[in-house]
Amino acid sequence: MTADGRSIGQPATARGQKTRQRLLEAAETVFGEEGFDRASITAITGMAGVAQGTFYLYFPDKKAVFVELVRELSSGLRRATAAAVEGLTDRMEIEERGFRAFFEFAYSHRNLYRIVRQAEFVDEEVFRWYYRRLAEGYVAGIEQAISAGEVRPLDAECIAYCFMGAADFLGMRWVLWNDRLPPEEVIQSMVAFMRHGIDARPAPEAAGGE
């Protein structure tokens, strides 16, 4: 990755873009199924249907395509979440829609967990970047909601990591281990727990069950 956040190997032509995208999609499957160490560039180009030499027009080596894949998954997840909450202003509604978008993203990117977790051992910098980048957007949203009196005055970064961790573990429990979206009652419990946890506005049901 470059310092200004621009993706490496970003080609100028539409056809080049498409080839690069095919390589990244193949890499997502190969790294997810084989793991970084056992994955080969040959397997990636084979699955992408391009000549092995073509790979090097886009990425210098196996690690470079892996790092770029983590960055693409990060921006894909952030785009999916942003689209899901577009136009919403209520923080609690934003949280709920955002969690649902995360579970759906993990469900449609079945190797997301394996790839992000491998990143810790392949390139710790991009692993930390992945979570810090997600946290940044979260912190900004929570701080705004605190200023607006919508959310209790808690440490915004703490809440961001609590929410990300809770979503990550529920996604692991249901999407990764059980190959399905979390059941609706689980999502309802999660949302109720989080809403009560941060909501600053007294509500009639604030002390009762859902």
Binding site for a second copy (CB under 8 A): 35, 37, 114, 117-118, 120-121, 128, 131, 152-155, 157-159, 161-170, 172-173, 177, 182, 185-186, 188-190, 192-194, 196-203, 206-210
Task: Output 20 or 195, the one with its CB closest to a second copy.
Answer: 195
Task: Output 117 or 133, the one with its CB closest to a second copy.
Answer: 117
Smallest distance from a second copy to CB 109, Å: 17
Q: Please, how many CA atoms are within 13 Å of residue 121, restricted to the half-sphere of its CB?
A: 7
Smallest distance from a second copy to CB 3, Å: 21
Cα 34 to Cα 3, 38, 89, 134, 196: the distances in Å are 30, 6, 42, 26, 42
Cα–Cα distance measured from residue 82 to residue 110, given in angstroms and rounded to the nearest whole number: 20
Task: Output 107 or 161, the one with its CB closest to a second copy.
Answer: 161
Smallest distance from a second copy to CB 132, Å: 9
Task: Output 55 or 99, the one with its CB closest to a second copy.
Answer: 99
Smallest distance from a second copy to CB 68, Å: 21
Task: Output 25 or 150, the one with its CB closest to a second copy.
Answer: 150
Do the Cβ atoms of 99 and 187 come closer than 8 Å?
A: yes
Cα–Cα distance measured from residue 143 to residue 154, given in angstroms and rounded to the nearest whole number: 9
Smallest distance from a second copy to CB 117, Å: 6
- Token pair belonging to 112: 């997301």
Instruction: Output the 3-class SS for 40-83.
Output: CHHHHHHHHCCCHHHHHHHCCCHHHHHHHHHHHHHHHHHHHHHH
